[in-house]
Amino acid sequence: MSKFKIKMIENALHSLEVALISYDSYKRKSDKWKLKECILFLHHAIELFMKQILFNKNILFLFENFNKAIDGQIRANNNNLDIFTANPKLNTVSYKNSIKRISAILNPPEFKPPINLKDKFEDLNIFRNKIEHFSIEVEEKSVIQLIESLYRPVINFFQKYLKMDIESQISQNTKKVASKIQDYMKNFKEVLNLVKKVIKFYENKAIYKEFFTGNRDLDLRDLVIKQDITRLEHFELDLLLESETEKLIIEMETTKSQESFFNAINRIIRVMQELNSRVWIIFSSFDLKSSTYSKFERYKNLYITDRSRWKELLNSIEN
């Protein structure tokens, strides 16, 4: 009879593939259950990769209780068994303690600024625990930004410390999905840099009304960039500008679907109302009909720029 056997590293690679495929499905269909699957499987993959590092250093690092592990290894040696067979009740180290042990043993620079991988691992753990043990209600954008910011650093980190080419171990289809995730991040950064360029150009004046919904200019005078990718109260924000008297929040969306557009708009209206601030949302990959624009003219603090108007705005600072 054949045996059901999966090595730890194979298990980790499979979970990574499932996480990536689930995320791609979420991006295409806006299916929250696929986002849930991505969180759970990405967490599982990272946990197993960390445990493989600890196992490679010393099998005893793999267990939560060192003393019990030592006794268990002695028992296994005396009975010519592996440690798991000899000690079926031994608990392996938790995700959280795996992070601590890797931090102590390797002191990896990736756990510190500017990469901050340790903090990102811990943030993912919070999302996963809410799903696994209770319920979750968080800003969808904060989950998306975390997942998209994790992929490349995670691959680089585990390839370095496991001394293996992880990307060569995943399927061609999954590599295509991974490439899409990197494109999401690349596109976001490109738009963010262009937004900063626009802000610099218009820093002492107003951006003309023809680039937005409604019939009003966007005055940037006295506003300075405070921080990008920031959290304000319970909202994850792309860019925050402030003066002594007001805030301007700028959000960048690369969505290409009508459904995603309305999801983004509904979220940004909540941001505007709860934070009592002006909000400029840029859809760099999506054109809006005039009738759609007119639906939002009643929101005096909301400025919407679609793909065509965004291109015109960029041309205005080049000419």
Do 165 and 235 fall within a single domain?
Answer: no
**Domain span holding position 14:** 8-170
Cα–Cα dist 75/66, whole Å? 14
Same domain, 153 and 67: yes
Examine the fold and report which residue of 170, 196, 221 is the final residue of a domain before the chain moves on: 170
Tell me: do 71 and 160 sit in the same domain. Answer: yes
Q: Could you list the pLDDT tens digit for every one of the 319 residues in the chain?
A: 688 889 999 999 999 999 999 999 988 887 889 999 999 999 999 999 999 999 999 999 999 998 999 999 999 999 999 998 999 889 999 999 999 999 999 999 999 988 899 999 999 999 999 998 888 777 788 888 899 889 999 999 999 999 999 999 988 888 888 898 888 888 888 989 999 999 999 988 899 999 988 678 999 988 888 876 666 666 778 899 998 888 899 998 876 677 777 878 888 888 888 888 999 999 988 888 878 778 888 888 999 999 999 999 999 998 7
DSSP string, 256-317: -SHHHHHHHHHHHHHHHHHHT-EEEEEETT----HHHHHTTTT-TTEEEE-HHHHHHHHHHH
CA distance 199 to 225: 9
Give which of 168, 160, 56 is closest to 115, Cα–Cα. Answer: 160
Is residue 154 domain-shared with residue 12, that is, in the same domain?
Answer: yes
From 170, 197, 225, the end of a domain falls on 170
Tokens describing residue 68: 């019990």
Nearby residues of 185 by Cβ (< 8 Å), 6 or more positions away: 148, 149, 151, 152
Question: Can you give the pLDDT at residue 234?
Answer: 67
**β pairing state of 218-219 and 224-232:** unpaired
Q: Last residue of a domain, which of 114, 135, 170?
A: 170
Q: Does 175 fall in a domain? A: no
Tell whether 78 is covered by a domain.
yes
In a domain, 182, yes or no: no
Same domain, 136 and 204: no
My answer on whether 234 and 269 are in the same domain is yes
User: 299 and 200, same structural domain?
Assistant: yes
Q: Are residues 148 and 277 in the same domain?
A: no
Q: What is the pLDDT of residue 271?
A: 86
pLDDT at 229: 65
Q: Is residue 183 part of a domain?
A: no
How many domains in the chain?
Answer: 2
Residues 164 and 192 in one domain: no
Query: Are 149 and 197 contained in the same domain?
Result: no
Long-range pairs, 257-260, Cβ under 8 A, ≥24 = 257/30, 257/286, 259/30, 260/30
pLDDT at 231: 67
- Tell me, yes or no, whether 51 and 104 share the same domain: yes
Which domain CATH number covers 256?
3.40.1350
Asked if the structure places residue 77 within a domain, the reply is yes
On whether both 213 and 128 belong to a single domain, the answer is: no
Is the residue at 180 inside a domain? no
In a domain, 305, yes or no: yes
